[in-house]
Structure 1
Amino acid sequence: MSGTYAYYPGCSGLGTSVEYDLSTRAICRELGIELVDIPDWSCCGSTPAHTVDHTLSCALSARNIFQAESLDVDGIITPCPSCLTNLKTASHRMQNDAFKARVERLLDGPVENRLPIMSVLQVLFETIGPAAIAEKVTEPLTGLRLAPYYGCIMNRPPEIMDFDDCENPVAMDELMTALGADVAPFPLKVECCGASFGVARKDMVMKLSGRLLDLAEDVSAHAMVTACPLCQMNLDLRQKQINSAHKAKHRMPVFYYTQLIGKALGMGEESLMLDKLIVPPSVAFRKMDEVRRSAS
């Protein structure tokens, strides 16, 4: 085993991004990472809670930390950058005793705040490592050219997230390279996609996500790969809207990195829920096969 972790799937992991949750669980099993679901976990506050009340927002995440502390685990991990931000911010802010006391008044008991909190990506990159994952690859992604997109909060602010480079992260790049894929340079890898403004300011999402898709086309990527449910939704689900708004013709699959790891490890497309992607993954895989044929 490569460690036992309290697992926080997040609300979207059981709904709109169920394929991310299932593929995460599948590759963790394969790579020897034991996930123990946090008992009776609840919403971390997502993106809006801190705009209403900072103490309540922290308490929503602190409750999950409190629940995880009942488990015999090495730390807390989550696949979702938004959940990660909230959990780590809560842990960081509770280093202030006065603030921690206000938070604990809203909870069922004191929070020890002793468990490290990490993304699944960080555990795969730092604990398992690209080289060890490469050794387990049975179906290399040779010929597949990917544009890695991290989103704007996976690594920022650096004093709280404390993982990879906040302006030029490389963890996902190196993991995809370990699978045999060709990783394209992608200068906008930490720029915002518009996030949850898809409801309030759809025009903003069309502009920002459209810019990302434009660049992915410009660097000749066959697909984009991301670690964030909200980013994936904006780039994949809204791609037709973006095309309409900007008179573009993007047909760019947007994978979760866990799905591509699973595919390279020989897991079936059905078990990774690749069929849930709006832009069919076959678009990218056909281009991958064309590259292989031309190279042979």
Structure 2
Amino acid sequence: MTYAYYPGCSAKGSSADYEKSTQAVCDVLGLTLVEMSDWNCCGSTPAHAVDTELSAALCARNLDIAARQGAKMLLTPCPSCLSNLKHAANRLEKPEFRARVDALLDNPAAGNFPAVTSVMQGIAAHCDVNGIAKHIRKNLKGLKLAAYYGCLMSRPAKLMDFGDPENPSLMENLLTACGAEMLNFPLKTVCCGASYGIPERAVTARLSGRILKLAACMQADAVAVACPLCQMNLDLRQPQAAKAVDAFFNMPVLYFTQIMGLAFGLSPTALGLEKLRVSADSLLRKLEAEGGRS
């Protein structure tokens, strides 16, 4: 299966390991991701708060490129990108709003856009449990994982179409298929502080610390994420989070694709694990100790 692919800006920098592992896992599963040509930033977290029409124009240009390249489905790994693209497509259904956005573009956007979904949903639609299981080379049995979606992936519920907005389960389904024990993690959709990590570091430290503290109390071996900003707050800013909640953490925070890649027998280097601030070595040692093979 071939899909149009919008990587988003983080994939070329701060979340290069997410991009690397996404491509590697999709390659194993037979999903071909064709990166859109000449794509631009979707506006990320702050643009829509500054100017809704300019933010929508950024996304409309990307949707237009995908449409003119004949895409039927557009996949993106980043929840922020997913949310922005979906919101823009929805707002552009109103003729008056579309006219104002078209005026900001070099040419009016295409009349119809391809459907937009997450890489996670694309994988789940392409492969059922048996389809995933046949690719497992190192069963994840023995690993206890907390799935953390962040606040954007499943909200607003109708627009994002990601299952229960308070209790999504898709990541758990994928990683359970790889043999992992998924904890019933009640903070899976609370905010980590998002981009407040820049102007209000104390807020982000406190919110992220709460998430990490619960994961540690539940004896998780790692936290599985799907958002570059969540990963940064929980991993890179882990010392700040620990200080904010008076705790000590050494909690690996991996993208769900990195964890799936381990189950598929891909090397840590192929999955970009060396980029993590908190080393995943403890996770790898436990996996090797279990010695599980499918």
TM > 0.5 fold call = yes
Q: Which residue of 2 aligns with 1:16?
A: 14
For residue 41 of structure 1, report the CA deviation from its aligned partner.
0.3
Measured in 1, the distance between the counterparts of 2:60 and 2:42 equals: 8
- Matches of 1:282 and 1:74 in 2, distance apart? 40
Q: Give the gaps of 5 or more residues in structure 2.
A: none
> In the TM superposition, what are the counterparts of 1:227-246 in structure 2 within 5 Å?
227-246=226-245
Instruction: Give 3-state SS (helix, strand or coil) of 2:198's partner.
Output: helix
Matches of 1:267 and 1:75, distance apart in 2: 27
Query: What letter is aligned with 2:16?
Result: V
Structure 1: segments with no counterpart, 5+ residues: none
Match of 1:259 in 2: 258
Write the deviation string for residues 183-204 of structure 1: whole angstroms up to 9, x where unpaired: 1110010000000000111111
Structure 2 counterpart SS, 1:243: helix
The percent identity for this pair of structures is 48
Contact 2:154–2:162, Cα closer than 8 Å, also in 1: yes
Instruction: Report the CA distance between 1:131 and its aligned residue.
Output: 2.8
Moved more, 30-39 or 221-230: 30-39
Letter in 1 for 2:203: M
In structure 2, the residue matched to 1:222 is 221
Change (3 A) 1:138 1:289: closer
Matched residues in 2 for 1:231 and 1:143: separation? Answer: 25
C-alpha change, 1:281 and 1:7, in structure 2 (3 Å) is same
Residue 195 (structure 2) aligns with: 196
Separation of aligned partners in 2, 1:115 and 1:52: 26
Partner of 1:173 in structure 2? 172
Paired letter, 1:28: C
| TM-score, length-scaled by structure 2 | 0.95
* Equivalent-residue separation in structure 2 for 1:133 and 1:112 (angstroms): 37
Q: Which residue of 1 aligns with 2:61?
A: 63
Deviation at 1:285, TM superposition (A): 2.7
Q: Which amino acid aligns with 1:210?
A: G
Contact 2:25–2:257 (8 Å) recurs in 1: yes
Q: Does 1:88 align with 2:86?
A: yes
Runs of 4+ aligned structure 1 residues displaced above 4 Å come to: none
Quote the residue 1:46 is aligned against.
44
- The 2-side partners of 1:131 and 1:97 are apart by 45
Match in the other structure for 2:186: 187
Is the contact made by 2:28 and 2:135 (CA closer than 8 Å) also made in structure 1?
Answer: no
Task: Provide the aligned length of Structure 1 versus Structure 2.
Answer: 290
1:150 corresponding residue in structure 2: 149
- Aligned with residue 77 of structure 1, among 75, 78, 85: 75
* Aligned residue identity for 1:98: E
1:288 CA displacement:
4.2
